[in-house]
Structure 1
Amino acid sequence: MTQWIDACATDDIDAEDLIRFDHGAATYAIYHAPDGQFYATAGKCTHEDVHLADGLVMDHVIECPKHNGQFDYRTGEAKRAPVCVNLKTYPVKDEGGRVFIQVA
């Protein structure tokens, strides 16, 4: 069963930034793209299990703070070594000034 989880307010995340969101046993990263869209991925790097919320966001890329691996947060695609496993992404909707993510 999938459900929409209220993760944060839209103004909690500056443009070209991200926040960490924990729900249950899972950690997510929620991004505010330069074009105003919101995206969500798994919150930890697939390479070393490091929280991405401490990483650097540039355009549509999140850079892991530990080894500088990069992902396109829109698709989860691994873009630069040492990461080679894509990030899981989650559907996002923006309603009434709130960001919701869909989780299983």
Structure 2
Amino acid sequence: MTDWIRVCATGELLPGEMRQVWDGATPIVVVNLDGEYYALEDRCSHEDVELSTGSLDPAEGSIECMLHGARFDLRDGRALCAPAYTPVPTFPVKVADGAVWTRDDR
């Protein structure tokens, strides 16, 4: 089991914002969705593009890849529309000691 990676202080990631961190060679995008934090692999499953360069839809709870418009559910990583059909991996997130933490636990 890998160690937790500190993303930021809770006050540095406001609702509707996202931040990229790395766990070794794994890019992870962490999103604050109305006070709940979610982490996904920062790589579109359709094309190898960073999801953190895309846009968030807080109402839908999704992130959209800026390259071809594939959208993914922040809560479980499932693909919501073509051209993506494969989900992106999700990772655990915890809030402790005034900070947001995640890790690649695969």
Q: Is the pair's TM-score, using the shorter chain for normalization, greater than 0.5?
A: yes
Please identify runs of 4+ aligned residues in structure 1 that moved more than 6 A: none
Aligned CA-pair RMSD? 1.2
Measure the CA separation in 1 of the matches of 2:26 and 2:64: 20
> Percent identity among equivalent residues?
35
Q: Secondary structure at the match of 2:11?
A: helix
1:99 aligned residue: 100
1:5 aligned residue: 5
Task: Please list every run of 5 or more consecutive structure 2 residues that lacks an aligned counterpart in the other structure.
Answer: none
Q: In structure 2, give the amino acid aligned to 1:28.
A: I
Measure the CA separation in 2 of the matches of 1:93 and 1:31: 12
Task: Please list every run of 5 or more consecutive structure 1 residues that lacks an aligned counterpart in the other structure.
Answer: none
- Is 1:61 matched with 2:62? yes
Which string of whole-angstrom CA distances, capped at 9 and with x for unpartnered residues, describes residues 25-83 of structure 1?
A: 1100000002x011100011111010111110011100001001000011101001101
Number of residue equivalences: 103
1:80 aligned residue: 81
Q: Quote how far apart the aligned CAs of 1:15 are.
A: 1.0
Matches within 5 A, 1:17-32: 17-32=17-32
Q: In structure 2, give the amino acid aligned to 1:58.
A: D
Q: Quote how far apart the aligned CAs of 1:22 are.
A: 1.8
Q: Quote how far apart the aligned CAs of 1:16 are.
A: 1.3
Conservation of the 8 A alpha-carbon contact between 2:7 and 2:19 = no
Output the TM-score relative to the length of structure 1.
0.91
**Which range is displaced more, 65-74 or 14-23?**
14-23
